[in-house]
Amino acid sequence: MSEILLETQHIQKYFPIKTNSFKKSYVQAVEDISIQIKKGETLGLVGESGCGKSTLGRSILRLIEPTSGRVFYNGKDITKEKMLPYRRKMQIIFQDPSASLDPRMTVGEIVGEAIDIHKLANSKKDRTDYIRNILNQVGLNSEHANRYPHEFSGGQQQRIGIARALSVKPEFIVCDEPISALDVSIQSQIVNMLEDMQKDLGLTYLFIAHDISVVKHISNRIGVMYLGTMVELAESYELNRNPLHPYTQTLLSAVPVPDPKKSRERKRIMLTGEIPSPINPPTGCRFHTRCPYAKPICSEQIPEYKEVSPEHYCACHIV
Ligand code: SF4
């Protein structure tokens, strides 16, 4: 089996919220998620907006502290560790590049900041060369170092965000919807660049997206989340060929097919009802209020998340 770089065990993240009553309420954003990410692979993570994908990604990096559960990096439990040494190894690329770049800093300052924090350059010249190399790596040039983020297009801003993540020579990157704020024409360029960087630098990715057709191409394995829980996880080809969970089947039925004949033959599964609130999620299987196959047991018992065939995990009573 390939080496595991990152592992979570029973990660849970609840956010307290203010209510009018004396009873404490929480947004139950992530519930009991255990995953393993192998060295050099891309694990895609999909699900509707608000299903807890980004919260899971940030909990892994401890940008927010998990309520309970543990995170292991290279076999070491880092749940309570000081994160500065791990910040160098574990990075994030944010969804909205314009919001994640400080408008008062030049591109050189943005990329150079982490180089200074982690003391990665020995001299001023070394630092300048370092920044120039990274900018070249992401398709920008050294002249761009003196400009400000607002002078760039959305795609170029995301390249700056990627350069910032790369500046500390990380091993693991959480790509948190890195292309969803970009024009469709730019999206494939950024995805191709991330794939090339992975090959060249041996990076490991957790690639978060709300669109399964995006993660399908870039991921070795895909995890599907619904309302804070992991409902299915399998190797990418297997998940697309043989989706077991009704929610995964629904997501895949919405992916456009280029062949018009196949497209006509295919049945689109339409979900009814609103996504329930994560403050008061449904009992038993959280999907039971919208699932076309729900049985009485589904509202009573939480389905076990188990391995149903080698490397194919699913949480459903009828699978
Ligand atoms: Fe549907 Fe029941 Fe399976 Fe949940 S456990 S996905 S409600 S069949």
User: 152-180: per-residue pLDDT in tens?
Assistant: 999 999 999 999 999 999 999 999 999 99
Which tokens is 291 given?
């699932």
Which tokens is 167 given?
């500046």
How many CB atoms lie under 10 A from the CB of residue 153? 12
How many CB atoms lie under 10 A from the CB of residue 84? 9
Position in ligand 1 atom list of the atom nearest CA 319: 3
Position in ligand 1 atom list of the atom nearest CA 247: 6
Contact (CB, 8 A) for 287 and 231: yes
The CA 220 to ligand 1 mean position distance, Å, reads 26
Distance CA(303)–CA(305), nearest Å, equals: 6
Which tokens is 191 given?
């995805």
Q: Does the Cβ of 316 fall within 6 Å of ligand 1?
A: yes
Contact (CB, 8 A) for 171 and 197: no
The CA 202 to ligand 1 mean position distance, Å, reads 38
If you average pLDDT over every residue of the chain, what do you get?
Answer: 93
Q: Is the pLDDT of residue 17 over 70?
A: yes
Q: Does the Cβ of 291 fall within 6 Å of ligand 1?
A: yes
Distance CA(182)–CA(194), nearest Å, equals: 15
Query: Where are any strands of DSSP class E within the chain?
Result: 4-17, 25-38, 42-46, 68-73, 76-77, 90-93, 172-176, 204-209, 221-226, 229-235, 305-309, 312-315
Given this model, what pLDDT does residue 42 score? 98
User: 180-226: per-residue pLDDT in tens?
Assistant: 988 888 999 999 999 999 999 999 999 999 999 889 889 999 999 99
User: 69-108: per-residue pLDDT in tens?
Assistant: 999 999 999 999 999 999 999 999 999 888 999 999 999 9
Nearest residue (by CA) to ligand 1, atom 5, is: 316
Q: Which mutation among 226, 231, 286, 295 tests ligand 1's pocket best, with the greatest number of atoms within 8 A of CB?
A: 295
User: In this prediction, what percent of the chain has a pLDDT beyond 90?
Assistant: 82
User: 102-132: per-residue pLDDT in tens?
Assistant: 999 999 999 999 999 999 999 999 999 999 9
The CA 267 to ligand 1 mean position distance, Å, reads 20
The CA 161 to ligand 1 mean position distance, Å, reads 39
Query: Where are any strands of DSSP class E within 41-200?
Result: 42-46, 68-73, 76-77, 90-93, 172-176
pLDDT confidence tier of residue 261, bands split at 50, 70 and 90: confident
The CA 58 to ligand 1 mean position distance, Å, reads 28
The CA 67 to ligand 1 mean position distance, Å, reads 27
| Proportion of the chain in helix, strand, coil states, percent, rounded to 5 | 35, 25, 40
What domains, with CATH codes, occur in the chain? 4-89+170-315 (3.40.50.300), 101-167 (no CATH)
Q: Is the pLDDT of residue 20 over 80?
A: no
Nearest residue (by CA) to ligand 1, atom 8, is: 294
Nearest residue (by CA) to ligand 1, atom 3, is: 316
The CA 316 to ligand 1 mean position distance, Å, reads 5
Nearest residue (by CA) to ligand 1, atom 7, is: 288
SS3 assignment, position 228? coil
The CA 22 to ligand 1 mean position distance, Å, reads 34
